[in-house]
């Protein structure tokens, strides 16, 4: 292992420009060092087209003449500043090829001033980790339960004065709540430093820095460490697809396009007013891969959800003018190569880390191994999300015409490894909260929403639900306010929270609901064609051999109209007694509490099965049943 920081010599700089140095932050940025017996800070930056670069900060009164940087090989600049020390602010004063002089944040800075200020801060504060046991056992967990609570750290909860919680305060409150609710993971957005609150953290200026809104880097480390100690995995949203145009950031860093593609037809997102990274430059690719490794290695993060992958894969994404690749196609071959390299390096350098793609197209092999696939562990099931929400937003009168929306996922669900994600994107910008999407009066909205949740938790795939939706938040999410926690004291909202707790518990406890998430044999449809009644039924099962602990199964039955159906026949593969694991109509969850007078299977076959149950299906509800045991043949009816 090379000493830290790495020396600014020809060999190490060459490794960076040839894409052989996966942690460029060990070379560039601000590093406290002792040089010739003198303590100070070594600064280094990449700006190949700059005419001049100086480091300015608290240590020299922001005077650009005091500490000019030396031009090194391959377009890098370096300087040693004896006066600089921990906690002081600094920037790089760059006179670009265009003749303009601009003060720039350190691309590799690990701590930043609180917005709207943008100076980087010299920072190296040690943190004593106590999560060794967790780190040694982390895994993508394809056959394990993964129920993810997506959290915007700036608005989940706030202090009484309206300011952000410190990461340490957030750690305890969030861990207590996530444990209570039964989630296995949290996914944090808005963590990486960003100048504009309204971007939710998706326009990043500090790819190596936790946002200072909630504290220092060691405070963020405390958050991750504490969640690990409580048995909770931590994923982060990570944005390698684009970056903001803010002058203090990466944009035109040395007076010319450097981190971004030069041609706006390839390098500018008109929808988002952001620049697109130039994946054809080794220094840019290593900057991004080093950022990923910073989070999963130094901050012990368990995985990254890579944002907007579709926008990276396709050169014509959301644009009318675009530049074809060398084969005349629409795929960004450089971005594809970057994503493959990213996943290879992360999985090699941080075994057990989970890489998730937010990818909305039918691009093949997103979760297939490299070199033929992109190498992600999971992909968000955007098609499932769109179809399911479309169905549940319909007036029940019209659902029979869209019956296939809830069965189509079964056609392709094993082509990738999926996360069923209901994220922040579905509850903003006029889309309404999830419960408000449901048709009907307040009771029917809640009944429909409870049914939606139960179907989500019993459909193959890992789960993700955005904060506030677990208690049926009635308003859209607003990043400037904390969640309306007071409504959880209202029985109608508390009932939905109780349901999510119960679904998480069942999902974690029962192998049939999670082991087969990525297996074709994990789900068997029993009723998928009763469009007239909008009734669905399917078996979830643990597809492993019985000798390996497999064989358990459960039955899910959904009645998705506001019509009570008495004695509805549902085929089952075994005779005997059944028990109700969950009914979304239970009074505990805000329903009527419809009773089932008989849960003994009849010997007569139905729906292609050997036996059947006669169930009372409450309006707009989902039932989950478990096979208890066989009835003696002489007692079968």
131 belongs to the catalytic site: no
- The per-residue pLDDT for 395 is 97
103: CB partners within 8 A, 6+ apart:
56, 91, 92, 93, 94, 248
Q: Yes or no: say if 449 and 411 are a contact pair by the CB < 8 Å rule.
A: no
Gap between the Cα atoms of 385 and 406, Å rounded: 10
- The per-residue pLDDT for 2 is 41
> HSE-up of 473 (CA within 13 Å, CB side)?
21
Parts of the chain with a pLDDT under 50: 1-2, 634, 637
Gap between the Cα atoms of 105 and 112, Å rounded: 8
Gap between the Cα atoms of 311 and 315, Å rounded: 8
559: CB partners within 8 A, 6+ apart:
533, 534, 535, 565, 568, 617, 618, 619, 620, 621, 622
Structural tokens at position 59: 């240590």
- Give the 3-state DSSP-derived string for 142-177, with helices as H, strands as E and coil as C: CCCCCEEEEEECCCCCECCCCCECCHHHHHHHHHHH
Q: Yes or no: say if 290 and 20 are a contact pair by the CB < 8 Å rule.
A: no
- The per-residue pLDDT for 597 is 87
Specify the length of the chain in residues. Answer: 637
Helix axes 491-509, 167-181, angle to 10 degrees: 80
Gap between the Cα atoms of 609 and 40, Å rounded: 76
Q: Kindly report, residue by residue over 527-549, the tens digit of the pLDDT.
A: 999 999 999 999 999 999 988 88
- The per-residue pLDDT for 630 is 72
Structural tokens at position 406: 């809830």
Gap between the Cα atoms of 376 and 216, Å rounded: 31
> What's the predicted TM-score (pTM) here?
0.95
Buried b / exposed e along 120-146 (16+ C-beta atoms within 10 A): bbbbeeebeeebeebeeebebbbbebb
329: CB partners within 8 A, 6+ apart:
none
Instruction: Please identify which of the residues 150, 219, 278, 307 carries the catalytic annotation.
Output: 307
- The per-residue pLDDT for 4 is 76
Closest CA to 148 of 419, 385, 463, 459: 463
321 belongs to the catalytic site: no
- The per-residue pLDDT for 621 is 98
- The per-residue pLDDT for 631 is 62
- The per-residue pLDDT for 179 is 98
Gap between the Cα atoms of 234 and 350, Å rounded: 14
The SS3 of residue 129 is coil
Instruction: Please identify which of the residues 358, 470, 512, 517 carries the catalytic annotation.
Output: 358
Closest CA to 349 of 48, 1, 39, 622: 1
């Amino acid at each position: 292992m090379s000493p830290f920081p790495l020396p600014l010599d020809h060999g190490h700089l060459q490794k960076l420009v040839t894409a052989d140095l996966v942690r460029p932050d060990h070379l560039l940025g601000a590093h406290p060092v002792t040089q010739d017996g003198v303590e100070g800070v070594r600064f280094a930056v990449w700006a190949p087209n700059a005419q001049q670069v100086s480091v300015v900060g608290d240590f020299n009164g922001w005077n650009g003449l005091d500490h000019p940087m030396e031009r090194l090989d391959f377009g890098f600049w370096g300087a040693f500043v004896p006066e600089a020390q921990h906690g002081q602010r600094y920037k790089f004063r760059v006179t670009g090829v265009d003749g303009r002089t601009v003060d720039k944040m350190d691309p590799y800075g690990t701590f930043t001033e609180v917005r709207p200020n943008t100076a980087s801060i010299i920072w190296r504060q040690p943190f004593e980790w106590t999560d060794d046991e967790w780190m040694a056992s982390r895994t993508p967990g394809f056959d394990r339960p993964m129920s993810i609570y997506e959290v915007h750290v700036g608005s989940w909860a706030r202090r009484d004065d309206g300011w952000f919680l410190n990461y340490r305060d957030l750690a305890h409150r969030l861990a207590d709540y996530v444990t209570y609710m039964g989630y296995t993971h949290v996914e944090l957005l808005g963590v990486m430093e960003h100048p504009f609150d309204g971007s939710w953290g998706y326009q990043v200026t500090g790819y190596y820095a936790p946002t200072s809104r909630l504290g220092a880097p060691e405070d963020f480390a405390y958050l991750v460490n504490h969640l690990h100690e409580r048995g909770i995995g931590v994923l982060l949203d990570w944005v390698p697809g684009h970056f903001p145009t803010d002058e203090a950031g990466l944009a035109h860093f040395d007076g010319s396009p450097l981190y971004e593609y030069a041609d706006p037809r390839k390098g500018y997102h008109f929808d988002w007013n952001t620049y697109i990274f130039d994946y054809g430059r080794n220094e840019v690719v290593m900057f991004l891969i080093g950022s990923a490794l910073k989070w999963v290695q130094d901050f012990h993060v368990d995985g990254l959800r890579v944002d907007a992958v579709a926008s990276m894969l396709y050169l014509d994404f959301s644009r009318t003018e675009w530049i074809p690749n060398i084969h005349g196609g629409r795929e960004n071959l450089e971005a594809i190569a970057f994503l493959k390299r990213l996943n290879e390096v992360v999985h090699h350098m941080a075994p057990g880390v989970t890489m998730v793609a937010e990818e909305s197209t039918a691009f093949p092999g997103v979760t297939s191994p490299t070199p033929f696939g992109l190498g992600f562990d999971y992909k968000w099931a955007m098609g499932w999300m769109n179809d399911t929400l479309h169905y549940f937003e319909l007036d029940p009168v019209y659902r029979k015409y869209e019956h296939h929306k809830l069965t189509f996922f079964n056609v392709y669900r094993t082509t990738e490894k999926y996360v069923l994600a209901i994220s922040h994107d579905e509850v903003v910008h006029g889309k309404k909260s999830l419960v408000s999407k449901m048709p009907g009066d307040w009771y029917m909205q809640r009944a429909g929403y409870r049914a939606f949740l139960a179907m989500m938790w019993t459909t193959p795939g890992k789960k993700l639900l955005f904060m506030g939706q677990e208690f049926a938040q009635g308003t859209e999410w607003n990043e400037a306010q904390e969640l309306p926690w007071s409504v959880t004291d209202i029985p109608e909202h508390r009932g939905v929270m109780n349901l999510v707790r119960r679904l998480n518990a069942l999902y974690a406890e029962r192998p049939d609901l999670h082991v087969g998430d990525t297996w074709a044999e994990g789900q068997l449809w029993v009723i998928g064609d009763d469009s007239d009644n909008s009734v669905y039924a399917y078996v979830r099962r643990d597809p492993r051999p019985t000798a390996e602990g497999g064989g358990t199964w459960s039955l899910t039955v959904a009645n998705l109209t506001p019509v009570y159906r008495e004695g509805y026949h549902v085929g089952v593969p075994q005779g005997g007694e059944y028990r109700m694991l969950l009914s979304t109509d239970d009074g505990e969850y805000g329903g009527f509490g419809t009773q089932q007078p008989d849960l003994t299977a009849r010997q007569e076959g139905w729906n292609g099965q050997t036996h059947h149950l006669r169930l009372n299906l409450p309006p707009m509800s989902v039932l989950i049943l478990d096979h208890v045991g066989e009835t003696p043949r002489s007692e079968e009816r």
